[in-house]
Amino acid sequence: MNTIWSTYIQNIGTLYDSRSLRFCDLFRDEYKKIFALEDKHKILEIGCGPGALAESLARWYPSSQIFGLDRDSNFIQFAANQAPHIQFSEGDATSLPYESESFDVTISNTVAEHIEPSAFYGEQYRVLRKNGVCLVLSARKGIQLAAPCIAEESDFERDIWQRTAPRLSENIKKHAVCAYPQNESELPLHMEQYGFRNVKTEYITVNLTPDNPIYSPEMAYAMINANRQGDIDSAQSLKHIAADLVTPDEVEELIRRIHVKYDKRLALYDAGIRQWDTNLSVTMIVRGTK
Ligand SMILES: C[S@@+](CC[C@H](N)C(=O)[O-])C[C@H]1O[C@@H](n2cnc3c(N)ncnc32)[C@H](O)[C@@H]1O
């Protein structure tokens, strides 16, 4: 039972809510154009987390069989409950529990930077059939601007985040998060180095700005509440990462204040008072064939 990622790095809600928006059907045609896949494929998502991308793939390629694999037991349990039509398994990407040449497509999102490249690409090369497609999605620098009503910090909040900042950095190092960072040249170079051909790069930007009139109120609410969930998860994780530095009461008070701010943000949205908080994600997509 491995629950390191979901306990110490990113919680289920943070990943599921943000990825459900990033891979929502509004952006389906853009992704599908770049993925350039036939339907009726066997598709394996590596490091699928709680499964939001796998769910989108199942909707976008309804005649394909979707598989998802992750090392974290909490993610796999959640994903399997959410989407019983997808075959989720617990396992290690550096030693995939699948036969050689058994998939048409492998795909991953924000995983390449956490796994040693020869194992990451080598295993995908092994399980792909000849002419199979490897898709590596990697988050690049975007824009994250919180609404003014959320960015403002009380002394209480500032004190907690200052007190725990060194511990949070140590935690990232301790769990080897982003141990293999790769820039926009290194990602395709690595894919070629490990045997893939016809390597191409593309970028998709997803502009999640609740006040943007192209979005429905439901989407705007989902964006605001995804940020709320991320902030609450960060506060909750202090109980595991910094239990000796913050009291449970302090964490509860932090969470109460987060709710007050986000409730205010929703009230401003309802009243038509714009905040223009922006979450622009830039995803690089590297595509190669075996
Ligand atoms: C940044 S998260 C991304 C999760 C998911 N792809 C998403 O976008 O929501 C990285 C994921 O890679 C998984 N992971 C890291 N190393 C792994 C390994 N060696 N084998 C399987 N999964 C791994 C983690 O458990 C985590 O779920």
Cβ 93 under 6 angstroms from ligand 1: yes
Q: Which among 44, 21, 23 is positioned nearest to 32, based on CA atoms? A: 23
Q: At residue 180, what are phi and psi to the nearest 5 degrees?
A: -125, 65
Local confidence band at 1 (pLDDT 50, 70, 90 cut-offs): confident
Task: Write the pLDDT tens digit of every residue in 38-72.
Answer: 988 999 999 999 999 999 999 999 999 999 999 99
Residues 290 and 131 sit within 8 Å (Cβ to Cβ): yes
Residue whose structure tokens are 């990033």: 22
Task: Write the pLDDT tens digit of every residue in 87-124.
Answer: 999 999 999 999 999 999 999 999 999 999 999 999 99
β-bridge pairing 42-46 and 103-109: parallel
C-alpha 47 – ligand 1 centre gap (Å): 4
Q: Which atom of ligand 1 is nearest to the CA of 4?
A: 25
C-alpha 215 – ligand 1 centre gap (Å): 30
CATH topology of domain 4-289: Rossmann fold (3.40.50)
Helix H or strand E encompassing 35? helix 28-35
- Atom 14 in ligand 1: residue holding the nearest Cα: 47
Question: For the chain, first and last CA: distance in Å?
Answer: 33
Q: Which atom of ligand 1 is nearest to the CA of 45?
A: 6
β-bridge pairing 278-289 and 197-208: antiparallel
Mean predicted confidence (pLDDT) in 140-160: 96
C-alpha 139 – ligand 1 centre gap (Å): 13
Cβ 228 under 6 angstroms from ligand 1: no
Local confidence band at 165 (pLDDT 50, 70, 90 cut-offs): very high
Q: In this predicted structure, what is the pLDDT of residue 139?
A: 97
d(CA 182, CA 191): 11
Residues in Cβ contact with 95 at an 8 Å cutoff, skipping those fewer than 6 apart:
119, 123
Cβ 111 under 6 angstroms from ligand 1: yes
Local confidence band at 273 (pLDDT 50, 70, 90 cut-offs): very high
